């Protein structure tokens, strides 16, 4: 159902915020042909490199929305993200290295097998323009210097009060739906009374964003993340400061902890320069400061993401430290999950009940992410204990002596260090945490005879591909009529449901033709554009050749029929019931 400006609404969806969640929501809705406005109280996109790791699932979303190539051009590529280094300073002796981001020899194959998309290091000031510019190019209206004031919703829509910060003149916009992507101090979430569980400002950190050529310290051992085991890191005799590459190897973030009980952090350039020089190990280093500011560690998540026609996502509903690199990735996926559902509701292709599934699916993920990120901070304790000493005038030298002692005690410390590094795989090589989400909602129909899923390997570390309803469609390579490899993920999505079957599944062709829905695409694996010469689809599909898998626009499996169906009438009836249930519609 097409909508026009004469329908009484200024827009179909109004998004507050243009960060990873708001930008993704606006881009997806514009791509789907939905009228969308996005506003930001700031005068531009992010100007500090907050989030930076883009995991495989987030890059898959960018791929589906047609902006992966642009993201790759701007990002530090996967193979350059390197090891994570634990060292006494950039110039000083190393303590340990960990193969990270799946780049190690023992894990790279898992990452290549699991997705057509590599991980990327894409700082937020580079990510946000990709989302916003492409959203505008596809029809979204983006307004900066516009502040959200409040909203009143009714049975038909939401009246949103905004303020033009340049003129000081308030104004109203009428939308069918409102999305609050306005960050960790979300006014939208506060206005609709979302229940936030947890604790804010658990610890304090200072981050200094600066420019300096540090290539002589790092170019020979590329790494975007360096943990500095040095008193300058804060938190006791051996803290863990941070040197993070923003753009290799001349733009950086340095981070160190401060004691919140002693008051506000010292954010002077003089103090920051002293800290950076110690963390780098160069007492004469000169830097160009871009910003110095405190940041506080949160452990808080919302138990519900919506109230009526108003939805929230991103940092508005999950607030946590950057450990595990889950922040912007989860926010991007929030937006992608919500956008297709809003599009179907706006067009009248789905009932409003479909929108309940957004919170049902994403709130458990948000909680998982908050707990995982905070646990990753805790999991540094065993590694720190291997190096820490008590009462030493020079704790760094003492720690190195303890670690390298050719004694029985030294051997025990080194064995403990090995175990401490293994524990950190749950942060740095956690493909399972990033890709093993299982949705449970009204937009997923579980197999009638389904047993509880058994994970063959560690669920946190390893992706387990499956077509179980609620899981993401597995990636495997098919081949088109030109002989070019194409991922299953490239065939699914793009704002449409897809119905997958094999060459013998002609009954499903008849069912799809009977329904004649513009938003449903039939995929017959084995035909000229979807050949399976590797015979991999047969292994990952988990269905008979004349069975079927119904995949949602966000790439998640909604329903499947594992056994063969030969009769068109039976296939049509099964598909109609499934779609009617998922979309909360009276008729399909």
Residue 585: per-residue pLDDT = 65
Residue 51: per-residue pLDDT = 84
The three-state secondary structure class of 223 is strand
The ranges of the chain with pLDDT < 50 are: 1-5, 235-237, 588
Q: Domain segments of the chain: what residues?
A: 5-75+123-195+303-375, 381-423, 477-583
Residue 393: per-residue pLDDT = 87
Beta strand 36-39 with 11-16: parallel, antiparallel or unpaired? Answer: parallel
The DSSP H or E segment spanning 77 is none
The three-state secondary structure class of 13 is strand
Measure the N-to-C terminal CA separation of the chain; round to a whole number of Å: 14
Q: At what angle do helices 20-31 and 327-347 cross, to 10 degrees?
A: 30
Output the CA angle 350-353-357, nearest 5 degrees: 100
The CATH code for residues 477-583 is 3.40.30.120
Separation CA 586–CA 574 (nearest Å): 15
The three-state secondary structure class of 299 is strand
SS3 per residue for 428-445: HCCHHHHHCCCCCCCCCC
pLDDT tens, position by position, 285-327? 999 999 999 988 888 999 999 999 999 999 999 998 888 778 8
Residue 296: per-residue pLDDT = 86
Separation CA 368–CA 240 (nearest Å): 25
Separation CA 340–CA 7 (nearest Å): 21
CATH fold of the domain at 5-75+123-195+303-375:
FAD/NAD(P)-binding domain (3.50.50)
Residue 233: per-residue pLDDT = 66
Residue 238: per-residue pLDDT = 55
Residue 240: per-residue pLDDT = 87
CB-based contacts of 259-265 (< 8 A; 24+ apart in sequence): 259/204, 259/234, 260/201, 260/203, 260/204, 264/294, 265/204, 265/206, 265/294
């Amino acid at each position: 159902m097409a909508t026009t400006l004469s329908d009484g609404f200024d827009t179909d969806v109004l998004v507050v915020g243009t960060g990873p969640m708001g930008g993704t929501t606006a881009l997806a809705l514009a791509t789907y042909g939905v009228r969308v406005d996005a506003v930001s109280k700031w005068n531009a996109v992010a100007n500090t490199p907050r989030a930076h790791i883009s995991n495989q699932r987030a890059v898959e979303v960018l791929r589906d929305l047609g902006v992966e190539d642009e993201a790759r051009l701007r990002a530090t590529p996967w193979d350059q993200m390197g090891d994570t280094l634990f060292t006494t300073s950039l110039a000083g002796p190393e303590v340990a290295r960990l193969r990270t981001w799946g780049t190690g020899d023992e894990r790279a194959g898992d990452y290549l097998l699991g997705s057509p998309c590599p991980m990327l290091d894409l700082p937020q000031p580079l990510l946000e323009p990709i989302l916003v510019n492409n959203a505008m190019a596809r029809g979204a209206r983006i307004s900066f210097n516009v502040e959200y004031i409040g909203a009143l919703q009714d049975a038909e829509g939401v009246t949103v009060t905004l303020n033009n910060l340049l003129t000081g003149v308030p104004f109203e916009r009428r939308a069918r739906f409102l999305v609050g992507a306005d960050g960790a101090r979300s006014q939208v979430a506060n206005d609709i009374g979302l229940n936030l569980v947890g604790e804010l400002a658990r610890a304090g950190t200072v981050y200094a964003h600066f420019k300096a050529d540090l290539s002589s310290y790092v170019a020979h051992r590329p790494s975007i993340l360096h943990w500095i085991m040095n008193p300058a890191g804060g938190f006791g005799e051996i803290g863990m400061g941070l040197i993070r590459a923003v753009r290799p190897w001349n733009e950086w973030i340095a981070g160190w902890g401060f004691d919140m009980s002693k008051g506000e952090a010292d954010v002077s350039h003089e103090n920051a320069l002293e800290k950076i020089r110690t963390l780098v190990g160069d007492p004469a280093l000169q830097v160009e400061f871009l910003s110095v500011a405190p940041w506080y560690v949160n452990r808080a998540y919302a138990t519900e993401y919506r109230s009526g026609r108003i939805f929230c996502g991103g940092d508005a509903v999950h607030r946590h430290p950057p450990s595990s690199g889950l922040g912007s990735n989860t926010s991007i996926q929030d937006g992608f999950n919500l956008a297709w559902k809003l599009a179907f509701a706006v067009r009248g292709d789905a009932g409003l009940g479909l929108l309940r599934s957004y919170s049902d699916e994403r709130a458990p993920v948000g909680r998982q992410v908050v707990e995982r990120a905070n646990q990753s901070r805790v999991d540094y304790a065993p590694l720190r204990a291997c190096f820490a000493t008590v009462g030493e005038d020079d704790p760094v030298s003492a720690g190195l002596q303890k670690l390298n002692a050719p004694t029985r005690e030294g051997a025990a410390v080194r064995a403990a260090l090995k175990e401490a590094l293994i524990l950190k795989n749950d942060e740095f090589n956690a493909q399972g945490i990033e890709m093993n989400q299982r949705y449970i909602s009204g937009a997923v129909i579980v197999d009638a005879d389904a047993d509880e899923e058994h994970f063959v390997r560690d669920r946190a570390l390893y992706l387990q591909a499956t077509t179980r309803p609620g899981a993401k469609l597995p990636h495997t390579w098919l081949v088109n009529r030109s002989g070019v490899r194409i991922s299953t993920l490239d065939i699914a999505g793009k704002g449409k449901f897809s119905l997958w079957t094999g060459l013998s599944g002609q009954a499903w062709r008849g069912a799809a033709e009977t329904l004649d829905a513009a938003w449903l695409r039939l995929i017959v694996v084995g035909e000229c554009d979807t050949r399976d010469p590797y015979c991999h689809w047969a292994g990952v599909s988990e269905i008979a050749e004349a069975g079927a898998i119904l995949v949602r626009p966000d790439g998640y499996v909604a329903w499947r029929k594992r056994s063969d169906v030969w009769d068109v009438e039976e296939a049509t009836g099964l598909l109609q019931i499934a779609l009617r249930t998922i979309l909360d519609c009276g008729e399909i």
